[in-house]
Amino acid sequence: MSAFDELFAFQRQTEALSSVSERLGWDQETVMPRGATEQRAEEMAAMESVLHERRTDPRIGEWLDQAVPEDAEDARILELIARDHQRATRVPARLATELARQTSLAQGIWAEARAKDAPADFLPVLNDILMLKREEAAALADGGDLYDALLDDYEPGATQAQIAALFDAMRPRLVALRENVLGAEFQPAPLSGHFPQETQLRLARACATAYGYDWTRGRMDLAVHPFSSGRWQDSRITTRVVETDPFNCIYSTIHEVGHSSYELGIDSDYAFTPLGRGVSMGAHESQSRIYENQIGRGRAFTGWLYRRMADAFGGLSVADADAFYATANRVTPGYIRTEADEVQYNLHVMLRFDLERDLIAGRLDTDDLIEAWNARFLKDFGIAVDRPANGVLQDVHWAVGLFGYFPTYALGNVYAGCLNAALREAVPDLDRFLEQGDATPAVEWLRENMQRHGGLYPPRKLIEQATGAPISELPLLDYLDDKFATIYRF
Amino acid sequence: MSAFDELFAFQRQTEALSSVSERLGWDQETVMPRGATEQRAEEMAAMESVLHERRTDPRIGEWLDQAVPEDAEDARILELIARDHQRATRVPARLATELARQTSLAQGIWAEARAKDAPADFLPVLNDILMLKREEAAALADGGDLYDALLDDYEPGATQAQIAALFDAMRPRLVALRENVLGAEFQPAPLSGHFPQETQLRLARACATAYGYDWTRGRMDLAVHPFSSGRWQDSRITTRVVETDPFNCIYSTIHEVGHSSYELGIDSDYAFTPLGRGVSMGAHESQSRIYENQIGRGRAFTGWLYRRMADAFGGLSVADADAFYATANRVTPGYIRTEADEVQYNLHVMLRFDLERDLIAGRLDTDDLIEAWNARFLKDFGIAVDRPANGVLQDVHWAVGLFGYFPTYALGNVYAGCLNAALREAVPDLDRFLEQGDATPAVEWLRENMQRHGGLYPPRKLIEQATGAPISELPLLDYLDDKFATIYRF
């Protein structure tokens, strides 16, 4: 066997084990008995230890030195393996194992603390995780910027300086739009009524099907914080149900369908290789966001959804499809990022981006986090956080060690803006299909121009190739201005 | 660290990984999307490869040479690790990986072949697995008997000669009882009616609760072939529903609760060690069987069950609790082992035991298996198999490589007979509790006298200690004669 073949076979098994580990995570958040938390932490730690040993295996260095790629795909595989190997060798095994163990335990503690609205139960654990993450960042950064080192895990090549500049460019127009919208005379009514769980889940399934979600390679379950999980032949979505607000379930579902379909849309030849997964979290979020917002909350698709929902629930509290469209895009003051509308969502992200940069840099202690969060929230959103579950406890990310992840949500929105502009030009009659509840022409364009490539191109290059234009925040901001000026009639 | 501590830490991680692998198997049979079969096979193979590498790690031999046990528990841990290490080193890695891959694939093929009643789709795959198992048996036997080498995986210390002798002693009395029962003038009526799935599942949950099943460390799902899975803090059961026959669901559930509660009943100090699991399949089956039959199908517990079922389904087609008891223990000619009554069950096992001994010895080809099965079935049960799904395709065992497993079901019945005699003597007023739907006094006796010990004692010693008497088939046969003579009035 050539060095390339040996490395390839070894990597194949590593990919399979990493997929197993991800499946365990899914199990923990959907079906695991609640008494199994400690056991699962030990299992995750054992998997992490095996994976770490493989990623740092000295043979990888030798194989990489000798391997001769035959084409661009092979070359990119080697590049991605080398990158992963370098990052893994920089993190000591003890630290990697400890992080896996602590974050697995912390997840349960976070969920309970959130349910009981008891941040004191969680913040000491978060502090332990923060210390470990700073240690990890220092090991990865190798003298460079700590936050950039973490960010690189989720958005390879991005830097906090670059993102801060992008956010600075976006913020004034978003703030202005928010003020125009909240100050507008016309304000859409919310949906009122009781929307039974089973009916919501049936509708959510119908929406997933409208986007061509492949049920033979996926499934849908309930989770506290919806997520998608898995790749290749097995990518699952989760959702949640609030019986007073059917949009929560429906748009969570469509969002996760976007993530999951990206994985399922990757060229099947790339399975069990580093090309066989979405290339970055920003790229991933671009899919979930364009599925959810530019497509799912557009006038055309909501026209279909209005008829389906009115049928399913036996009538709705809004007068017609236009009113429904406004309601589905209603902008109101709110605490929760995952429930935020398109106008305010990126402001939620910016808050977290700044706080976590401060935490990682050591400029902010977890002891002061609640105060810092609440002060910033008041400043950015003009309302005071009423309880920690609506503030610092709302997201699972930090509990599971995801620092540097949040900004990729906003990057995803920017990418989605770019993709949507290109998609609309390429498929001018898209709305005709969306009006009939068929989003597959959009999905096919995205699969062909982006999803199928998996990890083949770096994120910015991937998006720029797909859209034929440089990345810019303008398509997103223009889209938002147009859409909300129409809905809010200003 | 001492050699013992190093070995112990290493083993702890191996146990965690093995538990992950078992959880993957659960996932595959309950929730996995059907399109993920090939991926799962690759994942299972990767896990098996890691586990095999660990079990054959040469350091284990060195640690074992140097480790000094401090007490009987440590000594037994070393003994079990040494046994596992020896068995693992005898099987080449290539063979272990191939077996894992093939059996994972075969499971899906078997399920489809059974559904379509198409044995030709499955038998070539079974033949591949048989060849691999014979190769494995030869490696394990090291010149000894092939079948015994496989059997030793499931019932350490047992031999086919010993089991054949036991079965020969049992067969005449079972055959005579079967003839008396089927020839009796009184024949209980079956339950007739339609029994909705949701109500059955609710009752099944109530039954599990009646046995003190710990829902914080378990859960219940549907599966084609019910099984239980997992240990320590996470042991799950599965069941199935036939809407014309509620006993199927209820007694499958109670059976799996027996298996699962055995694992959950083991001293929690033994978690992540080789003591932390049921010591043999026979010991396991003794728990599932005594839960299901001696307790669950007794007059006392069925009295409670009758009232619960009559309430849940709004009346039943039988006149009273006595008639219900007879119906719950109804003996009829039938094809399916898992649906067989206590009288005929062991005869189903004996058929498989003899066929698989012939397959492993090379005296029988898979090409001739259907004919051999059908001929033997006609001889033992007096009826012709009508279709392969009711014959050779009914069990998953061979598809997943379980040769040498079947006889442990009958051994379990024999052990259950012994345990029941001792239990009834130790808890003379047990029926008073069972009449109220409370099986926990029986469960507590079993946990205290048997379950908690996990792998500490070899199977026969464990049962003999618990019962204070040598293993014998007589308590089981006497119990069956008494019970069925009463029900069938001869």
Q: What ipTM was assigned to the predicted interfaces of this complex?
A: 0.91
Is B105 inside any structural domain? yes
- Please list the residues that pair with B239 across neighbouring strands: B222
Look over chain B and give the mean of its residue pLDDT values, rounded to a whole number.
96
DSSP code at position A188: P
Report residue B96's pLDDT band, with 50, 70 and 90 as the boundaries: confident
How far away is chain B from the Cα of A218, in angstroms, using its nearest Cα?
A: 6
All residues of chain B having their beta carbon less than 8 Å from the beta carbon of residue A17 are 43, 46-47, 50
- The answer to the question of residue B75 being in a domain is yes
Residue indicated by tokens 């895990």: A153
CB contact under 8 A, B42 and A272: yes
At B474, which CATH number? 1.10.1370.30
Question: By the 8 A CB rule, do B373 and B385 touch?
Answer: yes
Query: pLDDT of B406-449, one tens digit each?
Result: 999 999 999 999 999 999 999 999 999 999 999 999 999 999 99
Taking the C-alpha atoms of residue B390 and residue B387, their distance in angstroms, rounded to an integer, is 5
**CA-to-CA dists, residue A272 to A67, A217, B298, angstroms:** 18, 16, 53
Neighbour-count burial for A282-296, b at 16+ CB within 10 Å, e otherwise: bbbbbbbbbbbbbbb
Which pLDDT belongs to residue B100? 82
pLDDT digit string (tens) for B228-271? Answer: 999 999 999 999 999 999 999 999 999 999 999 999 999 999 99
CB-based contact B33 A215, cutoff 8 Å: yes
B57 at interface of A, judged by CB pairs closer than 8 A: no
d(CA B91, CA B87) in angstroms, rounded, equals 7
Categorize the per-residue pLDDT at B292 as very low, low, confident or very high, splitting at 50, 70 and 90: very high
Query: Domain residues for B98?
Result: 3-144
Within this chain, do residues A195 and A294 fall inside the same structural domain, yes or no?
yes
**Candidate from B34, B50, B236 with C-beta closest to A17:** B50
Residue with tokens 């335990």, as numbered in its chain: A105
Residue at A107 is within a domain = no
A9 contact B CB<8A? no
Touching check for A222 and chain B: CB below 8 Å? Answer: no
In a mutational test of the B interface, the residue from A215, A217, A234, A235 whose CB has the highest number of chain B CBs within 10 Å is A234
In a domain, A401, yes or no: yes
A451 touching chain B per CB within 8 A: no
Q: Do A236 and B272 touch (CB under 8 A)?
A: no
The active-site residue, picked from B15, B43, B98, B256, is: B256
Distance from CA of B245 to the nearest CA of A (A): 27
Distance CA A158, CA A412 (A): 13
Is the pLDDT confidence value at A8 over 90?
Answer: yes
Domain match, B170 and B133 both: no
Whether the Cβ atoms of residue A178 and residue A331 lie closer than 8 Å to each other: yes
Residue from A233, A236, A266 to probe the interface with B (highest B Cβ count within 10 Å): A233
Residue with tokens 């997840």: A107
Whether the per-residue pLDDT at B312 is higher than 90: the answer is yes
Residues in chain B with CB shorter than 8 Å from the CB of A213 are none
Does the pLDDT of residue A97 top 90, yes or no?
no
| Residue B8, min C-alpha distance to chain A (Å) | 14
**Which H or E element spans position A19?**
helix A3-30
Q: Is A237 helix (H, G, I), strand (E, B) or coil?
A: strand
Claim to verify: residue B138 and residue B176 sit in the same structural domain:
no
Cα A158 from Cα A62, distance rounded (Å)? 29
Helix (H, G, I), strand (E, B) or coil at A297: coil
Helix (H) or strand (E) holding A129: helix A123-141
Mean pLDDT confidence for B7-25: 97
Give the closest of B37, B39, B233 to A36, CB-based: B233
Tokens 């769980």, residue located = A197
Question: In sequence order, which residues have a C-beta less than 8 Å from that of residue A392 and are 6 or more positions away?
Answer: A119, A369, A370, A373
**Chain A interface, best mutation among B11, B13, B51, by max A CB count within 10 A:** B13
Task: Looking at the structure, tell me whether residues A53 and A202 fall in a common domain.
Answer: no
On whether residue B260 sits in a domain, the answer given is yes
Comparing alpha-carbon positions, the chain A residue that sits nearest to B216 is A35
Residues B129 and B208 in one domain: no
Query: Among A38, A49, A216, whose Cβ lies nearest the Cβ of B233?
Result: A38
Whether A198 and chain B come into contact, CB under 8 Å, resolves to: no
Over the range B206-241, which residues count as b (16 or more CB within 10 Å of their CB) and which as e?
bbbbbbbbbeebbbbeebebbbbbbbbbbbbbbbbb
Q: Closest to A43 (Cβ–Cβ): which among B20, B37, B217?
A: B20
Strand partners, B237: B220, B228
Residue A244 near chain B (CB below 8 Å): no
| Cβ-Cβ contacts under 8 Å, A49 against chain B | 13
Residues of B in contact with A215 (CB under 8 A): 33
Band of pLDDT at residue B1, cut at 50, 70 and 90: confident
**Does some domain include residue B149?**
no
Same domain for B261 and B170: yes
Whether B132 and B196 map to the same domain: the answer is: no
Task: Report pLDDT for B28.
Answer: 94
Instruction: Please say whether the beta carbons of B353 and B167 come within 8 A.
Output: yes
Q: Characterise B191 by phi-psi region: left (phi > 0), alpha (psi -120 to 50), beta (else).
A: beta
Sign of CA dihedral A153, A156, A160, A166: negative
Burial of B270-279, coded b for 16+ CB within 10 Å and e otherwise, reads bbbbbbbbbb
Task: Give the span between the Cα atoms of B332 and B247, in whole angstroms.
Answer: 14
B256 counts as catalytic: yes
Spell out which residues of chain A touch residue B232, defining contact as CB-CB under 8 Å. Answer: 36, 39
What would the pLDDT profile of A251-280 be if each residue is shown by its tens digit? 999 999 999 999 999 999 999 999 999 999
Map residue A221 onto helix, strand or coil.
Answer: strand
Which is more confident, B93 or A64?
A64
- CB atoms A33 and B272 under 8 Å: no
Tokens representing residue A184 in the block:
């507008």
Q: Do A234 and B33 touch (CB under 8 A)?
A: yes
Domain's final residue, options A67, A90, A113? A90
Residue pair B102/B46 in contact by the 8 Å Cβ criterion: no
**Do B189 and B290 belong to one domain?**
yes
Question: What's the whole-number mean pLDDT along residues A360-377?
Answer: 97
Q: What angle do CA A443, A212, B222 make, to 5 degrees?
A: 145
Q: pLDDT tens digits, residue range A296-334?
A: 999 999 999 999 999 999 999 999 999 999 999 999 999
Which tokens hold the place of A130?
């923060």
Confidence of residue A338 (pLDDT cuts 50, 70, 90): confident
Q: Which of A27, A217, A221 sits opposite B23 (nearest CB)?
A: A27
Catalytic residue among A98, A136, A155, A256: A256
DSSP letters of B203-234?
Answer: HHHHHHHHTT--GGG--EEE-SS--EE--TT-
pLDDT of residue B198: 97
- The pLDDT assigned to B149 comes to 97
Are both A352 and A245 inside the same structural domain? yes
CB–CB of B47 and A271 under 8 A?
no
Residue B460: inside a domain: yes
Residues in Cβ contact with A62 at an 8 Å cutoff, skipping those fewer than 6 apart: A3
Say which amino acid occupies A455: G
pLDDT recorded at residue A107: 86
- Please identify, among A55, A90, A125, the residue that sits at the C-terminal boundary of a domain: A90
Residue B193 Cα distances to A409, B59, B68, B310, angstroms: 55, 62, 64, 12
Amino acid at B155: E
> Distance of CA B255 to CAs A459, B295, B402, B452, Å?
53, 11, 19, 19
Integer Cα distance of A167 and A160 in angstroms: 10
| A476 alpha-carbon distance from chain centroid | 18
Pair (B52, B201) in one structural domain: no
Q: Cβ of B465 under 8 Å from any chain A Cβ? A: no
Instruction: Give me the torsion for CA of A285, A291, A294, A295, rounded to 10°.
Output: 170
In the predicted model, what is the mean pLDDT of chain A?
A: 96
Residues in chain A with CB shorter than 8 Å from the CB of B269 are none
User: CA-CA-CA-CA torsion for A392, A395, A397, A398, nearest 10 degrees?
Assistant: 20
Rg, Å, chain A Cα set:
22
How far is residue B284's CA from residue B274's CA, in Å, rounded to a whole number?
A: 15
Helix, coil or strand: residue B91: coil
Interchain contact, B35 vs A219, CB within 8 Å: no
Helix (H) or strand (E) run with residue A236 in it? strand A236-239
Cβ-based neighbours of A143, under 8 Å, separated by 6 or more: none
Tens-place pLDDT, residues A396-405: 999 999 999 9
Tell me the average pLDDT across A234-242. 97
A-B CB pairs within 8 A amount to: 103
Q: How far is B1 from chain A (nearest CA, A)?
A: 16
Does A33 lie at the interface with B, CB-CB under 8 angstroms? Answer: yes
DSSP A227: -
Q: Name the band, by pLDDT with cuts 50, 70 and 90, for residue A108.
A: confident
Q: Does residue B93 sit at the A interface (CB-CB below 8 Å)?
A: no
Residue of A nearest to B234 (CA): A36
Between B45 and B443, the higher pLDDT residue? B443
DSSP-assigned beta bridge partners for residue A222: A239
* B24, B35, B234: residue with CB nearest A39: B234
Is B288 contained in some domain?
yes
Cβ contact A39–B232 (<8 Å): yes
Alpha-carbon distance values, A16 to A280, A454, B7 (Å): 19, 17, 27
Which of B120, B144, B168 marks a domain boundary?
Answer: B144
Distant-in-sequence, close-in-space partners of A469: CB < 8 Å, separation ≥ 6: A418, A421, A422
Above 90 in pLDDT, residue B203?
yes
CA B187 to chain centre: 29
Q: Of A470, A207, A167, A138, nearest to A345 (Cα)?
A: A167
Structure tokens of B234?
């996470």
Q: Are residues B419 and B282 in the same domain?
A: yes
Q: Is B173 on the interface with A (CB under 8 A)?
A: no
Residues A291 and A434 in one domain: yes
Inter-chain touch B17–A50, beta carbons under 8 Å: yes
CB neighbour class for A320 (10 Å; exposed up to 12, middle 13-18, buried from 19): exposed
Number of domains comprising chain A:
2
CA distances for A134 relative to A149, A154, A402, angstroms: 10, 16, 12
Min Cα–Cα distance to chain A from B120, Å: 25
pLDDT of residue B90: 94
Quick one: tokens of B385?
A: 């198999």
B415 close to B285: Cβ distance less than 8 angstroms: yes
Give strand pairing partners of B236.
B229
Let me know: does B184 contact B489? Beta carbons within 8 Å: yes
Residue B46 and residue A20: Cβ atoms within 8 Å?
Answer: yes
A129/A117 Cα distance (integer angstroms): 20
Q: Which residues contact A103 (CB under 8 A, 6 or more apart)?
A: A129, A399, A400, A401
One-letter amino acid for residue A239 of the chain? T
Contacts of B24 in chain A (CB under 8 A): 20, 23
Contact B20 A24 (CB under 8 A): yes
Chain B residue with CA closest to A46: the answer is: B13
